[in-house]
Structure 1
Amino acid sequence: MAKDTFLNRNPTPTLKLGTGLLDLSKAAVMGIINITPDSFFEASRHTELDAVLKKTEHFLKEGAKFIDIGGYSSRPGARNITGDEELQRVVPVIEAISKNFPEAFLSVDTFRAKVARYSVQAGAHLINDISGGELDPEMFPTVAELNVPYVLMHMKGTPQNMQDAPSYENITLEVTDYFQKKVHQLREMGVKDLILDPGFGFSKNLEHNYKLLQEMEDLHIFELPLLVGFSRKSMIYKSLNSSPDQSLNGSSVLNTIALLKGAKILRVHDVKEAVECITLIEKMQSA
């Protein structure tokens, strides 16, 4: 019975990435690279291309399967920037990583269809949208046209207002209803490869986050890979009266819980530690 909780909960998920397929029967790690001056975790900020390439090489050596590149800070209350500024930040980086590390699977973290399109043309393999298509009506049609995997995340509002007293009667039920409608809409448009992200830390207070984590297994009803992103977030450091810099251990704890509940992708700032979580959980499950 225990062996049914990690590797065998769902049919073996695969993703079409470029010309190949990625088998997600074993969970994978997505390393975060922010091309921003204001992301909440200072060590994740990179504005120089040489630093980005060194970080990418470091992540890949540590075992990252994905590199997630974002040019728009989505921390609560973040400054809004234009689409053109976001494009100027991410496209040259995606081109450079694609050229220097052709083996890397690249994800673009954006809610703008134009940025998604140009990023895929530059070499990105999947689109990671925090807004679930809510902030740009052209996102879903663009994803369908580009025929690339899409990370569908749950969020209410915008990064500027999402933490203004978020309210739910039943957090897990509301997130499930949200995914049901969005998945149906995307399937009707012909989108094949979908990944669900419950959106921990987005339009949710501490109680919402931990309740959603407790009940995360309910989201397997969709039989789609689950991506989680806890890394160094306030749901950790506010609970422990610490800071993002002191939240690596807490990140590993929550990543481990999520793996036991069937998560397939860990989006993190610390790749080595996340890979170790996967290795040890897999060792236990295969015993």
Structure 2
Amino acid sequence: MSGLVLGKLAFVTGAGSGIGRATCQVLAREGAQVIAADKNLKSAEETIAALPITSNNDNSIGHSSVLLDVSDSNSIKSSLNKILGQFKKPPSIVVNCAGITRDNFILKLSEEDFDDVINVNLKGTFLLMKIFAQAIIENNVQESSFITIGSVVAKHGNMGQANYCASKAGVDIVTKTAAREFSKYGIRCNSVLPGFIATPMTDIVPEKVKEKMMPLISCRRMGCPEEVAEMITFLASSKSSYVNGASIDINGGMSI
């Protein structure tokens, strides 16, 4: 079997749906052994159940799922310990797709909703990077890659999403900083900035809002999670060996 990430161990958060689930599917298609992590364990298990079994040197390698709350360092450490116990090594591919929204205008946005989004999207990215990078360095895992999920709205802001925009802007800067700090350990860090992608997160957007968005997108359609997943897989592979600290737009030519 040939593949972009053949024989690699990949850890994907937010794997129960949307971009996270699509990323698991593409990584598995390209030969990776996938660990799907989500706060909803049942959804992560459903993702794994639909993945093809990876074959490497005539040996079948199964995928696995794990319960994870990225905003809780103890939960991340627990997940990592399970991985080390099962696979005897940390993953060399870490994709942080976990994210939430709590949309509202600033004058109506509660402190709790602001904190929840920052804790999951931004703090979660920091904690995951720190804890998994430490394990990768300690175990001398070579050619590792972290990919985080930012957002096109982090560049310009978006009405009703002050908390989300702030969190995703932070994710991008944390990723660029990590790229500078981790490069000497052989760890590359990049972020992708999706635009209007058809996921459970955008399913709740009113149709009239979606209709207004279409003229702003050169491709005149919403993106598919698989299209983001393809870029993530490229960044996880050796084909992107000189891509580090980058922020890559995946928005169909979206202008705001």
The question of a shared fold, defined as TM-score above 0.5 by the shorter chain, is answered with no
What TM bracket, shorter-length normalisation?
0.3 to 0.5
TM-score by length of 2: 0.41
| TM-score (norm: length of structure 1) | 0.38
